[in-house]
Amino acid sequence: MKSVRNKKKQKTKYMSDALFSDFKESLGQALQHARGKRTDLRVTVLPAPPSPMSRSEIVKLRQELNCSQAVFARLLNVSLKTVQSWEQGVREPGDAALKLLTIARKNPEALLF
């Protein structure tokens, strides 16, 4: 019975001491940078992800492109069922699809190349 209790009391390590040390150091550097104390770190600012599109916006975009659902699906490289699901509100486009839909809205000719 004692051996079972001892096993339960043993701590499970989720990360090595070396990895934790690196992580802690990185957090310290990030804090220094955020407080303006370090300017030697490289910072990459990414654009915000595309905002969600409603089903009516997707239908409108497809109609503006004068496409059937099948042709629209082919242009976006998704299945017909996917386009139908978006337009019926059953599913929402994922991040990659939203990016492509945004490109299609701003520059429809980009889909044809």
CATH number at residue 73: 1.10.260.40
Q: What is the pLDDT at residue 8?
A: 58
Residue 9 belongs to some domain of the structure: no
Q: Give how far the C-alpha of residue 55 lies from the chain's centroid of Cα atoms, to the nearest Å.
A: 20
Compute the average pLDDT of residues 15-39. Answer: 91
Task: Read off the pLDDT band of 113 (50, 70, 90).
Answer: confident
Task: Read off the pLDDT band of 6 (50, 70, 90).
Answer: low
Q: What are the tens digits of pLDDT across the range 81-107?
A: 999 999 999 999 999 999 999 999 999
Task: Read off the pLDDT band of 4 (50, 70, 90).
Answer: low
Residue 2 has pLDDT above 80, yes or no: no
Residue 71's domain comprises: 55-112
Residue 11 belongs to some domain of the structure: no
Q: What are the tens digits of pLDDT across the range 30-83?
A: 999 999 998 888 888 888 888 899 999 999 999 999 999 999 999 999 999 999
Residue 59 belongs to some domain of the structure: yes
